[in-house]
Structure 1
């Protein structure tokens, strides 16, 4: 009896499998046409990282390396450096604080896009965009440098290094008690 039951199962198993195939073969296809029709992502989607700026163009990153410590995949590398105050265009100020992130790298070969680095950032310098097309054919191109991650300069922003324009000290920046950026005189190309 047990032998005849197993023979029936061996006979009906492939037919049952093909039954599933034939039932679904003539249904309408529901796949998305991804490269040609891109659907919008959810508002809180975790995509590519971005290093943000203050309204005058200074970087929000203070080089504290908390994001690198919080990363479970060890995908972030940060080297902090001290800001150097100077006169005029000789100023070495990249952020309003004492320090800035001189080197900032994110290795997208290791990153799992979990967002723990975003939660660890004390100045909200690091956020995540909705950009999700991060594939490449070269491994070296998937290690994003600081220049790749920095937010673009908007109108009214000045490329660092420059002096603080929104307040007397970094406290005004961090409290949000700053005024509109003052116009900055630029050097002429002939000088």
Structure 2
């Protein structure tokens, strides 16, 4: 009987400490915490991050201002305003008739579902792996066209500029254009200046309304 009482006493004495067994055991294991933002885990290839408006190999924009992405968006986060390309005044930003004059995505509303990507008929809109979109200002989370437009790559010249001579809109989407021609480069040097509107085709001081 005495042994039984002694065993029960010991169980009651160490019962509160036994609950910390898991805690004590993990104290000596290797820490698995990631040191973010110093160390960033790479995302998956199909990760849905910040959007990007793509260009053709010569620098013209793929967006034709059709607004299908805005119609497909379930969160009403996209604002698109199309306009006509005008070769007479040198205002050609994309192959074909129209381009996206205004393009905004409100990341306060966006749910990163990717439906806008599926709706785009020209593959102008894709999603990158960039996920660091937090900010302390709501207005800064409304991205405009100049922020979404893909940077110029080697062989590209900034729009507006004429299409490749002898090519039409179909040739662009068939991949026959591989880069800017000498004629396009000369045209850009002759017509672009620091006082022009930015390469997105929208005035630099255009307000955010999305």
TM-score by length of 1: 0.82
Given that residues 166 and 178 in structure 1 are in contact (C-alpha distance below 8 angstroms), is that contact kept between their aligned partners in structure 2? no
- Please say which of residues 169-178 and 112-121 is displaced more in the overlay: 169-178
Residue in 1 that maps onto 2:168: 169
Distance 2:157 2:179 in 1: 13
Task: Flag the 1:182–1:40 CA change in 2: closer, same or farther, 3 A.
Answer: same
Distance 1:98 1:157 in 2: 21
Given that residues 59 and 180 in structure 2 are in contact (C-alpha distance below 8 angstroms), is that contact kept between their aligned partners in structure 1? no
Given that residues 106 and 144 in structure 1 are in contact (C-alpha distance below 8 angstroms), is that contact kept between their aligned partners in structure 2? yes
Residue in 1 that maps onto 2:200: none
Structure 2 gaps of 5+ residues are: 1-15, 194-210
Distance 1:166 1:67 in 2: 30
Distance 1:166 1:53 in 2: 18
Given that residues 166 and 180 in structure 1 are in contact (C-alpha distance below 8 angstroms), is that contact kept between their aligned partners in structure 2? no
CA drift at 1:97: 1.5
Task: Flag the 1:76–1:124 CA change in 2: closer, same or farther, 3 A.
Answer: same
SS of 1:187 mapped into structure 2? helix
Residue in 1 that maps onto 2:112: 113
Distance 1:69 1:34 in 2: 37
Q: 2:51 aligns with which of 49, 52, 58?
A: 49
CA drift at 1:180: 4.3
Residue in 2 that maps onto 1:160: 159
Distance 1:97 1:15 in 2: 75
CA drift at 1:16: 8.1
Given that residues 62 and 95 in structure 1 are in contact (C-alpha distance below 8 angstroms), is that contact kept between their aligned partners in structure 2? yes
Structure showing greater Rg = 2
Residue in 2 that maps onto 1:36: 38
Distance 2:36 2:59 in 1: 36
Residue in 1 that maps onto 2:69: 67
Q: Which runs of 4+ in 1 moved over 6 A?
A: 14-17
TM-score by length of 2: 0.75
CA deviation vs aligned residue, 1:6-44 (integer Å, no higher than 9, x gap): xxxxxxxx8886565555455433221111111211111
Distance 1:16 1:91 in 2: 79
Distance 1:115 1:49 in 2: 9
Task: Flag the 1:180–1:151 CA change in 2: closer, same or farther, 3 A.
Answer: closer
Given that residues 155 and 180 in structure 2 are in contact (C-alpha distance below 8 angstroms), is that contact kept between their aligned partners in structure 1? yes
Q: 2:79 aligns with which of 77, 80, 90?
A: 77
Task: Flag the 1:77–1:16 CA change in 2: closer, same or farther, 3 A.
Answer: farther
Residue in 2 that maps onto 1:134: 133
CA drift at 1:74: 1.0
